[in-house]
């Protein structure tokens, strides 16, 4: 009986150690951490508001923002952004985000997929081509509305 208990304890220890090693060897990418913090930066804003400058709500430094139109192929995103990183998904519906913030040519925040994960959705209107580009020196004004599901929808004001 003691031998079975010992084996069970050792097995649990090995599993925990394995999980720690996986997390250490594959840490959460900075762009994912920044994407989650980005949403929480709006917690102090009411459910309907005008955001006069989106840069005031980013907890990370950035110089370029790209929004890609629905159905933009991954290869086109890589070409526009200028390099490939290991986590990118194709948008397969109009209801998905594909937002990339860069700092000096490197991805510092990546918001992709349906709004459920990051609780934000951006609307830039009609795209000319397959992407929309803004810089941190642009005044980024958005009307923001919070939905019943807790998703914040940002409509770009040109």
pLDDT tens sequence across 42-83: 777 777 888 888 888 888 999 999 999 888 888 888 899 887
Which residue, among 46, 81, 41, has the nearest Cα to 60 in the 3D structure? Answer: 41
* 39-69 CB burial, b ≥16 within 10 A, e <16: beebeeeeeeeebeebbebbebebebbbbbb
Any idea what DSSP says for residue 93? Answer: S
Q: What's the pLDDT score for residue 63?
A: 94
Per the document, the length of the chain is 158
Q: What's the pLDDT score for residue 89?
A: 75
pTM higher than the cut 0.85: no
Q: Which two tokens stand for residue 142?
A: 């958005």
Helix then strand then coil, in percent of the chain rounded to 5, is 30, 30, 40
Any idea what DSSP says for residue 151? Answer: P
Q: What's the pLDDT score for residue 56?
A: 85
Residue 38 has pLDDT above 60, yes or no: yes
Determine the Cα–Cα distance for residues 88 and 110; give it in Å rounded to an integer: 9
Q: What's the pLDDT score for residue 22?
A: 47
Partners of 66 in the β-ladder: 100, 133
* 71-84 CB burial, b ≥16 within 10 A, e <16: ebeeebbeeebeee
Mean pLDDT of 94-113: 89
Determine the Cα–Cα distance for residues 152 and 54; give it in Å rounded to an integer: 13
Asked if 41 and 139 count as a contact pair (C-beta separation under 8 A), the reply is no
Say what percent of the chain tops pLDDT 70: 86
Taking only the tens place, the pLDDT of each residue in 120-143 is 888 988 888 889 898 988 888 999
What value does the mean pLDDT of the chain take?
81
Q: Which two tokens stand for residue 63?
A: 């110089």
């Amino acid at each position: 009986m003691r031998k079975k208990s010992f084996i069970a304890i050792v097995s649990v220890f090995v599993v925990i150690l394995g999980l720690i090693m996986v997390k250490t060897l594959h840490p959460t990418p900075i762009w994912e951490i920044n994407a989650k913090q980005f949403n929480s930066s709006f917690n102090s804003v009411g459910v309907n508001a005008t955001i006069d400058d989106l840069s005031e709500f980013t907890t990370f430094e950035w110089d370029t923002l790209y929004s890609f139109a629905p159905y933009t192929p991954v290869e086109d995103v890589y070409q526009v952004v200028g390099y490939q990183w290991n986590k990118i998904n194709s948008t397969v519906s109009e209801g998905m985000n594909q937002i990339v913030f860069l700092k000096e040519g490197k991805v510092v925040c990546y918001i992709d997929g349906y709004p459920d994960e990051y609780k934000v959705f951006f609307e830039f209107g009609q795209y000319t081509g397959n992407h929309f580009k803004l810089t941190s020196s642009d005044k980024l004004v958005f009307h923001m509305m919070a939905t019943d599901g807790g998703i914040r929808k940002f409509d770009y004001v040109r």
